[in-house]
Copies of this chain bind each other. A is one copy, B any other.
Amino acid sequence: MEPHGRGAAPGGVLVSAVLPAGGSGERLGGATPKQFCAVQGRPLVSYAVRAMERISWISDIVVVVSPENIETMKTIIEKYGHKRVTVVEGGITRHRSIFNGLKVFAENEFSSHLLQKPEVVIIHDAVRPFVEEDIVSKVVMAAKEHGAAGAIRPLVSTVIASAADGCLDHSLERARYRASEMPQAFLFDIIYEAYQQCTDYDLDYGTECLHLALKYCKTNAKLVEGTADLWKVTYKRDLYAAESIIKDNLSQQVCVITNVKETLAQVGFLLPESLKSQIKVEAISVSLSKNDSCLQNIISGQCYNFVCVNDKRWAIQETQELVDVLEKSNIPVLYPVVLILVHLDIPENNSFSIGMEDLTTIKKFARETKKKNILAYGLLIQYKDPLLLQETVNSAAAVIMALIKDRNPELIGQLLVA
């Protein structure tokens, strides 16, 4: 069946997901459990939820959190507009939390409304934000065929066993072993049966769901080679890495919007050309004050960076149109959007200056758009000598790339000069 008119699951089965998010994050250091740490302003767990939500054939997403974080989790779901999510109270260990998550598909007394029991259930971690549909689909299909399946990765370090005296007992041959990662998937009846059968010791000290399915239901567990981005955010350095990867992903495309004016034609052409060596560029000539359908199209894509070239001094009103369209699009809800107001300055009598008024205008505008998660910056291109224009435009492109890559909220409203 195809649930709720969404995309078809692999093999046409009903698929739901359980995300244990009850961990305390001891290894990370710091008071906030890692799944609630902010990455580009948004808690990590929201990225994992979004990764599942994006997959149209996943029916329900059950997030299991410790009792003290239920309200936090509900707030996150509301703030970031997550759909198809049910929050469930976790147990004291990972296995007990997953078991609780599974119960909402099977036991009436456990939730206010019983969710439809899926044929296949995905188990994924709240701290693995970068899972792609491709691997989820592979694992689900393998689970349907074999009863259980999970993503694996090569070992990074050699694994050793220590003897009682703290000395090396033996080392494992690295090629024969793999790291067990997430996502995993199971025929629901199998994993639910396994959790019902297993001992308290399993629930308290076990770490591996595949192991439970194997031990209590004699199923096979198919291992699926995963990609490097499945890794689990464990240490502070992993949060840094996640932050950089997300910034990188957001810096893949820029939309350069040039006002349709004669004087801008040259810059409107040169700037996108200069940017093209570093980033995918969508260049459009449009009058922003006319709410153009062309603009709507761009915004419906995956672009998180906008450059508005104008010859009016800080064409705030025109740019406000773009801000309004962006706000309606919901794009800035999940990720901060970078908006760079480029002003081409043609000085008279070769004199040139920036007045207090310009600075105040941009700062005020940026403070307002910041509330909408749009990071606005000003950039002045000095048009003096036509022979130097290419050089100036290259320098502008370098500043634009730096602003896009950094997405620094502390530098909003600043006026930079190329």
Residues of A participating in the B interface, judged by any CB pair closer than 8 Å: 27, 146, 148, 150, 152-153, 155-162, 165-168, 170-172, 174-181, 205, 207-208, 210-211, 214, 220-223, 228-229, 231-232, 234-238, 240-245, 248, 347, 351-356, 359, 363, 382, 398-399, 401-402, 406, 408, 410-411, 414-417
Contact between B237 and A245, CB atoms less than 8 A apart: yes
Query: In the complex, what residues of B have CB within 8 A of residue A347's CB?
Result: 356
Query: In the complex, what residues of B have CB within 8 A of residue A382's CB?
Result: 356
Query: In the complex, what residues of B have CB within 8 A of residue A248's CB?
Result: 240
Q: How many copies does the complex hold?
A: 2
Nearest 8 interchain pairs by C-beta: A240-B244, A402-B410, A237-B241, A157-B179, A168-B221, A352-B356, A241-B241, A158-B180
Say which residue of B150, B156, B398 sits within 8 Å of A234 (CB atoms).
B156
Contact of A237 with B243 at beta-carbon distance under 8 Å, contacts A179-B159, A223-B166 already known: no
Query: In the complex, what residues of B have CB within 8 A of residue A406's CB?
Result: 406, 408
Contact between A210 and B243, CB atoms less than 8 A apart: no
Say which residue of B148, B171, B398, B410 sits within 8 Å of A399 (CB atoms).
B410
Contact between A353 and B356, CB atoms less than 8 A apart: yes
A35 CB, nearest partner CB in chain B, Å:
16
Q: Which residue in chain B gives the minimum CB-CB distance to A417?
A: B359
Contact between A235 and B244, CB atoms less than 8 A apart: no
Q: Which of A159, A174, A401 neighbours the largest number of chain B CB atoms within 10 Å of its CB?
A: A159
Contact between B351 and A353, CB atoms less than 8 A apart: no
Q: Which residue in chain B gives the minimum CB-CB distance to A223?
A: B162
Expressed in whole angstroms, the Cα–Cα distance for A177 and B153 within the complex equals: 17
Say which residue of B167, B170, B220 sits within 8 Å of A146 (CB atoms).
B167
Contact between A159 and B159, CB atoms less than 8 A apart: yes
Contact of A159 with B172 at beta-carbon distance under 8 Å, contacts A237-B245, A241-B237, A354-B353 already known: yes
